[in-house]
Structure 1
């Protein structure tokens, strides 16, 4: 708990020069991951969550302005969208935001779909997920083949890293009858 209090003090009392040195040493994602680690128990089960929120916005020059789904009105509207990856301590029922990012408009990266963007957001966040995370909970809108396949690929990469780091036999692991089930298990934290 003392570590968490230190992070809170640091975030409240940092002056501009201190903030610049903090930016050089930790990313927001790493900082949030450290706060979550300090605030939670390693013995508690956790799940990862991912969802988007619509932000009403008008104007012509606002970066990211595009057509996004507004769940409050059950329709697509012009505005902004923020994507959030968070974790929830299942036992205390407390949630922690890990990384929020603005969704780009389709003209910024026309070769990428929104699902590609969401998957990339999850991919950059995944290494900082607490080790207790075994499942990813998402809205039904994410249940599209590219996103599901991408999550499976993330798991495959993580299992390969795990096998290599521990010096295990990849043939033995990958030939195990439950190997495919492991790939579908959820997002395995690094």
Structure 2
């Protein structure tokens, strides 16, 4: 698949684009272990982040939402990565899987658990909360809704704020998957 969007070179960015670039490449994502590259060898933003530069006001807000989803929710790192990886599989988002598989491993997901997420065998996950997170994320991405029983289970395990967080994670990563697909980012 040929990319539809060329990489925007850091030297060619205007002030607003540079602000978005700095927020991605020098912000929260750049702190701690680098489990997937944010920039390529020429300094261009990787993955979905390059497209954020096209419309800096939206791109800045979009990257801020992504940082909040990754670092400011009450879900455990494992639960968050389970939701992201389930969304990546359901949305057929190879880049998201490739970027988040090492993060999931860092959060403690085993090879068997990652295989279970890839194949939809959520019962293989360690605990009930993680199984509910996986099943709920899957339903949100595949059916874009929860039936009453799914909602009751999610609410019982996560509370209303946790359900909101999970909805936001699934929605954010599903939207990223669409951007990656349309722009042919591999």
Common fold, TM-score beyond 0.5? no
TM-score range, shorter chain: under 0.3
Q: Which is helix-richer, 1 or 2?
A: 2
Bigger strand fraction: 1
Q: TM-score, normalised by structure 1?
A: 0.25
Structure showing greater Rg: 1
Q: TM-score, normalised by structure 2?
A: 0.25
Q: Which has the higher contact order (CA 8 A, sep 6+)?
A: 2
